[in-house]
Structure formats: C-alpha cells, structure tokens
C-alpha cells in the first residue's frame, strides 16, 4: 500500500464574515504517487480545498475550522506554512501573478533562497527543474517574454525546485491557449508517471482528466459529493448535471444512445478508446 501523504478528516472551514462554511465535513486521503483531479462548479470549494493542503487554510486566513488535516504526518493547524511548503508545492491559475522576477533563474531561486539552500545546490536545482519542464536554456529569459504555457511551466519548475512530495495545481490551464494547456498537461503527466510525483489538480478539461487521473473528486456547495475512479464518477451523468459538472462527450453520447433505445453498455466509456471498445467500428466488407 502506498503511503498516505494527505489526510483530511471531517474538516470544515468558514471564512471570516461569511454566512456559510466554504468547506463542509470533508474527508479525503491522497496517497503517494496518485494523480487526483478535482472538479465542480464555481464556488464549490475547490480552491479552498487546495489551500487546506498547504496550510494557508487555516493558518493564513481569517476564519474558523473544525476537523483535522495532516500533511506528511504534520497537523497543518500547528505547522508553519513555510514548513508545509517543503512537502506541498502549489501552482495557481494565473502565471503572471505568480511570477515576479526578471529572469527564470531568479524566479526559481526565490523560493530556494527563502529556505536557505546553498548557492551551488541552487544552481544545480535550477538546471534540473528547467529540464524537467522543458525549459532548458531559458535561465536568462524574462517571464514576461514567455508564452502562457511557458510561464506556467516556469511556475511549476519553481514549485518543483523545493522538491515537494505533492504538486497541487489549481486550474493551471484556465488562462492558456490550447497549446499551452497541452504543455502543462504533458508536464504534469510526465512528473506523475516517470517520477511518481503526487498530483492534485483542479481542472475543467474533463476529457483530459478522464485519461490521466487515477481518481476524480467532485465538489458541490463545499462538500465532496463524488470520489472514485474517473470511470465510476463520470458514468453518473445525472448526478454530474446536478453538480453542474459536464461528463466527457463520449459518455454523453453513450448516455444519449441508451436513452434512444440502445442497450446500456456494461461499463460507460469515459475516453475515446473506451468508447471504441463499447461501440466497435463496423467492419468493411
Ligand atoms: N478569501 C475569502 N473570503 C471569504 N470567502 C471566500 C474567500 N475565498 C473563497 N470564499 C468563498 O468560499 C466559497 C468557496 O470558494 P472557492 O474559491 O474555494 O471555490 P472554487 O470552487 O475554487 O470556485 P471557482 O470555480 O470560482 O474557482 C465561495 O462561496 C467563495 O465565495
Ligand atoms: Mg477556484
């Protein structure tokens, strides 16, 4: 059994001066090496969930919580956020807001300086993480002169330089064009598959998540309402509609065919590959 990296136990959180909790009685475990996708409508609590994983909630926000979050054995409520940052790397939706330095090198060095990594080790890590995200040779490049996809890969590199065990990505592709999106998805998939990096990603691109994620968590109104394999979650077309989350197109198609009188598939397809095995192409004679 893989180690559990993050455990959320009956955790609720209410931001100061609000009337209702943003997170309600959450229970969730993230295991080492997992790729977990989080989906759900606007204001469902996805970002708040991410912020519980690096201790920003409850440590750096005004508000009240009940329950407990444990990250690599540390209770987040009693562990400094800078300590948790060694375990959990975070990347947000807008790369421009995360990047503040004049060059890629300095962007990555920033977090390392704050944790007292020696200069030689810093230079070694900068080279290493730029290679991981496919930005070798970009040391001196200004983030402002990069495409959105490159900027977001640089933000990922900066997070990776701290050697975290988990990378939490909150809608990392929502401000990117299709090529930038693909670049970020490819980096996350490679980190997970080749390096065993644990990935938690809030993402609306359901077709992509159906293919990459080991597990899919759907949130609605501050609760975790579905938590299973993508295939088990995305087959629940009616429930997804209730939670305002769209299933993959192939799942919708299978569902429509079934409603039109075709026999229901034994297992609902959520990727194109699965759809082709449920509805095999007609052989040419
Ligand atoms: N800093 C804050 N102060 C007060 N309320 C907040 C704060 N951040 C979020 N909220 C509220 O908490 C609830 C959950 O918000 P959250 O940002 O976690 O949702 P989300 O699923 O990430 O939404 P989105 O899809 O818009 O990113 C919302 O009702 C939101 O208004
Ligand atoms: Mg959000």
Residue 101 maps to a domain: yes
> Of all atoms in ligand 1, which is nearest to the CA of residue 222?
14
Share the mean pLDDT of the chain.
94
pTM score = 0.94
Give all strands of the β-sheet with 215-220 in edge-to-edge order: 88-91, 166-170, 198-202, 35-40, 215-220, 223-228
Residue 282 maps to a domain: no
Domain extent, residue 8, equals 4-247
Q: What is the pLDDT of residues 46-58, one digit of tens each?
A: 999 999 999 999 9
Reported confidence tier of residue 100, pLDDT bands at 50, 70, 90:
confident
Residue 103 maps to a domain: yes
21 in contact with ligand 1, CB cutoff 6 A: no
Long-range contacts of 48-51 (CB under 8 A, 24+ apart): 48/13, 48/22, 48/23, 48/222, 49/23, 49/219, 50/90, 50/168, 50/170, 50/200, 50/202
Distance CA 38, CA 203 (A): 6
Domain count, the chain: 1
44 in contact with ligand 1, CB cutoff 6 A: yes
Tell me if residue 101 falls in helix, strand or coil.
coil
Q: What is the pLDDT of residues 208-250, one digit of tens each?
A: 999 999 999 999 999 999 999 999 999 999 999 999 999 999 9
Which ligand has an atom closest to residue 46 CA?
1
Q: Which residues surround ligand 2, an ion (CB under 5 A)?
A: 46-47
40 in contact with ligand 1, CB cutoff 6 A: yes
CATH code assigned at 16 = 3.40.50.300
Q: Whose CA is nearest to atom 30 of ligand 1?
A: 43
Average pLDDT estimate for 133-161: 94
């Amino acid at each position: 059994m893989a180690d559990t990296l993050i455990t959320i136990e009956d955790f609720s959180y209410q931001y100061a001066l609000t009337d209702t909790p943003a997170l309600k009685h959450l229970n969730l475990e993230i295991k080492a090496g997992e790729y977990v996708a989080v989906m759900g409508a606007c204001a469902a609590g996805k970002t708040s969930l991410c912020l519980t994983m690096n201790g920003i909630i409850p440590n750096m926000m005004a508000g009240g919580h009940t329950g407990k979050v444990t990250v690599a054995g540390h209770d987040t409520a009693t562990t400094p956020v800078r300590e948790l940052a060694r375990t959990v790397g975070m990347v947000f939706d807008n790369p421009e807001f995360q990047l503040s330095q004049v060059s890629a090198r300095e962007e990555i060095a920033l977090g390392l300086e704050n944790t007292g990594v020696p200069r030689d080790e810093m230079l070694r890590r900068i080279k290493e993480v730029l290679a991981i995200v496919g930005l070798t040779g970009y040391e001196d490049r200004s983030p402002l002169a990069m495409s959105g996809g490159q900027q977001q890969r640089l933000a990922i590199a900066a997070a990776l330089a701290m050697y975290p065990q988990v990378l939490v990505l909150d809608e990392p592709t929502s401000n990117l064009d299709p090529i930038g999106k693909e670049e970020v998805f490819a980096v996350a998939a490679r980190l997970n598959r080749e390096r065993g990096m644990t990935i938690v990603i809030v993402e609306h691109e359901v077709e992509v998540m159906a293919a990459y994620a080991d597990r899919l968590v759907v949130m609605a109104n501050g609760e975790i309402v579905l938590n299973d394999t993508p295939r088990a979650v995305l087959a629940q077309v009616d429930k997804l509609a209730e939670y305002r989350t769209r299933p993959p197109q192939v799942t919708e198609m299978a569902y429509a065919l079934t409603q039109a009188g075709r026999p229901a598939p034994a297992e609902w397809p959520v990727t194109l590959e699965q759809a082709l095995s449920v509805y095999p192409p007609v052989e040419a004679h």
